[in-house]
Amino acid sequence: MLEIQEKFDTEGYEDIIAAAGVDNIHITEAMDKGKSIGYIAYAYETECTVVYGYDDGGDLMLCDGLVRSVMFKSVLKGIETMIFKLPDKDGFVNLRKLKFLEGDSTICENLDGFMNACKNCRRGEI
C-alpha cells in the first residue's frame, strides 16, 4: 500500500541538501511495502514553500501525490505560494502536465484555492 510520509532524518539525501544550499530541508517519501519509491525535498520559508527536488520515477500520479502532500502542509501553515527551484528542467515537465505550473513559471500561487478547486472536481462541479 502506498503511503506518503515525512522522513524525520535526512539520511540518504545529503547530495540534495548540499545542492540546495540550505539546512532547513524537509523530505517526504512515497513508501510502498516499506520501500521508498519517490520523494520530494522542500523547505518552509516565511512567505512560501520552496521545492528543491523530487523523484516520482516517471509516475505522473506519484508526482501529483507528492506535490499535493506538501501543498496541503503548506496551507496548514498559512503559506499560499510554492516555488520550484529544481536542479534540471526535466523536473518541470510533470509539474506543467499536472497544471501546478503554467507556461515558463516556476511559481504556484494560491495553494488553498488550488486545493479547494480540486475538491470541486471530485464533486463534478467544475
Domains, the chain, in order of start with CATH, read 2-122 (3.40.630.30)
> In which element (H, E) is residue 114 found?
helix 111-122
Choose among 86, 85, 76: nearest CA to 115. Answer: 76
pLDDT in tens, 10-60: 899 999 999 998 889 999 999 999 999 999 999 999 999 999 999 999 999
The whole-number pLDDT of residue 23 equals 84
The whole-number pLDDT of residue 118 equals 54
pLDDT in tens, 68-123: 999 999 999 999 999 999 998 999 999 999 999 999 999 999 888 777 765 545 54
107 in Cβ contact with 81 (< 8 Å): yes
